[in-house]
Amino acid sequence: MQFQTAGVEVAVWVPPLVAFVISFFTSMGGVSGAFLILPFQMSFLGYTHPSVSATNQLYNIVAIPSGVYRYWKEGRMVWPLTWIVITGTLPGVFIGAFLRVAYLPDPKNFKLFAAAVLLYIGIRMAGDLVRKKSGANDKVAGDKRFQEMVRRRREKMDSRDLANNDLPAVKVTHFNLKRLGYTFYDEQFDVPFWGIFSLSFIVGIVGGIYGIGGGAIIAPFFVTFFRLPVYTVAGAALMGTFVTSIAGVAFFQALAPFYPNMSVAPDWLLGALFGLGGMAGMYLGARCQKFVPARAIKWMLAGILLFTAFKYIAEFLGY
């Protein structure tokens, strides 16, 4: 099938199948999978116009609601965290979209930028995972306690509980312009409001340039730098990505008339096909997340980030 805006030809079943496989695994870590679908479009389909960023964000819009619904239904949406992410990333994504069209239209330079971002996050996350375990490190010890609580809870659950997703819900203890705190599995988590907001703003800019909405960046940051459990940040990261992707697609569409000689607006059909596959993958991924150890999810995120970064670097160097 020929996609006019993208200027590529591919069988109609390929985009949804690729999106389903990617989103099933990445949604467990609060990542829509857009940061992997973008290199698939650029490297395998040959879609290198700036509009690929907008098409990628269109995928997010179609795919993400099913995953968010599942996390909400299971009581694992930290809504105050979600609102901070949205208000921080929205202005950033507009800046990022403009920078992408005005200063990074060359796919070679764009890939180097993306590689630098993903490489830093991947190395930081992998380093945190291989760090020697020490009882003196309260943050590491706290993470271990959380993992043990999850294990004990799952051992006590009978088959009926598993079927009904009878799991403790997130409980917000305080939320103001200074701190956000909540409990999950009797463990207390507390983060600075402005720290989350500032991170979200920067992520919005990067996500706007990259065309991923920012979830692939912000979820690993929450887990690695703020020591929040991946079981509670996944829904917030996906919801933030959803809202900022709407803004990103709208902004790219609005910019299109000002760049008549460049493909800027999304390829609506291609983005929708990717999104349909992602919708099914995210729902199943969100449903299965609670049965997968958090450490395994973190390793998966780190591995995907590093693989994608090195792939971009190799392409930039001409390999």
pLDDT at 298 over 70: yes
- Dist CA 141 CA 245 (whole Å): 36
240 in Cβ contact with 84 (< 8 Å): no
- Look at residue 162 in the predicted model and tell me its pLDDT: 47
Determine how many CB atoms are found less than 10 A away from the CB of residue 53: 29
* Mean pLDDT of the 151-162 span: 58
* pLDDT of residue 202 exceeding 90: no
Measured between alpha carbons, how far is 297 from 299 in angstroms, rounded to an integer? 5
pLDDT of amino acid 137:
47
Name the residue ranges covered by the structural domains of the chain: 7-316
State the burial class of residue 178 (Cβ atoms within 10 Å of its Cβ: 0-12, 13-18, 19+).
exposed
For a pLDDT cut of 70, what percent of the chain falls above it? Answer: 83
- What 294-298 contacts at long range (C-beta under 8 Å, 24+ apart), as own/partner pairs, is 294/143, 294/146, 294/147, 294/150, 294/229, 294/230, 294/231, 295/129, 295/147, 297/28, 297/29, 297/230, 298/29, 298/125, 298/128, 298/129, 298/223, 298/230
Q: In the prediction, which pLDDT does 102 show?
A: 79
> What's the mean pLDDT when you consider all of the chain?
81
Which helix or strand (DSSP H or E) is residue 286 part of? helix 268-288
Highest mean pLDDT: which of 174-188, 194-208, 270-284?
A: 270-284
**158 Cβ contact partners less than 8 Å away, ≥ 6 residues apart:** none
pLDDT in tens, 36-80: 888 788 878 888 887 888 898 899 999 999 989 888 887 889 999
Tell me: pLDDT of 157 over 90: no
Contacts of 264 (CB under 8 A, 6+ apart): 49, 50, 51, 54, 101, 252, 255, 256
Average pLDDT estimate for 192-212: 83
pLDDT at 134: 44
**Counting Cβ atoms within 10 Å, is residue 155 exposed (0-12), middle (13-18) or buried (19+)?**
exposed
Tokens of 86: 């949205």
Residue with tokens 């993992």: 147
What confidence score (pLDDT) does residue 212 get?
65
**pTM of the complete model:** 0.76
Residue 149: the pLDDT is 62
Please state, in angstroms and rounded to a whole number, the distance separating the CA atoms of residues 114 and 205: 12
Task: Convert the pLDDT of each residue in 91-120 to its tens digit.
Answer: 887 888 788 777 777 766 767 877 887 787
- Greater confidence (309 vs 214) lies with 309
Q: Residue 166: pLDDT above 60? A: no
The residue whose two tokens read 């299109």 is 256
What are all long-range contacts of 265-268, with beta carbons under 8 Å and residues at least 24 apart? 265/5, 265/51, 265/54, 266/5, 266/51, 266/54, 266/55, 266/57, 266/58, 267/3, 267/4, 267/5, 267/6, 267/47, 267/51, 267/55, 267/58, 268/5, 268/58
Write down the pLDDT at residue 174.
94
The rounded Cα 261 to chain-centroid distance in angstroms is 31
For residue 214, give the nearest of 97, 50, 47, 45 by alpha carbon. Answer: 97
203 pLDDT above the threshold of 90: no
Q: Is the pLDDT of residue 90 over 80?
A: yes
* Beta carbons of 262 and 111 less than 8 angstroms apart: no
Q: What is the pLDDT of residue 302?
A: 81
117-153 pLDDT, tens per residue? 778 778 877 877 787 454 444 444 445 555 566 566 6
User: What's the DSSP call for residue 28?
Assistant: G
Task: Determine which of 19-28, 171-180, 299-308 has the lowest per-residue pLDDT on average.
Answer: 299-308
The answer, yes or no, to whether residue 29 has pLDDT greater than 80, is no
214: confidence class by pLDDT, cuts 50, 70, 90: low
In 3D space, the residue among 243, 305, 197, 297 whose CA is nearest the CA of residue 65 turns out to be 243
What are the φ/ψ torsions at residue 189 (nearest 5 degrees)? -125, 135
When pLDDT is cut at 50, 70 and 90, the band that residue 155 belongs to is low
Measured CA to CA, the distance from residue 183 to residue 296 in angstroms comes to 22
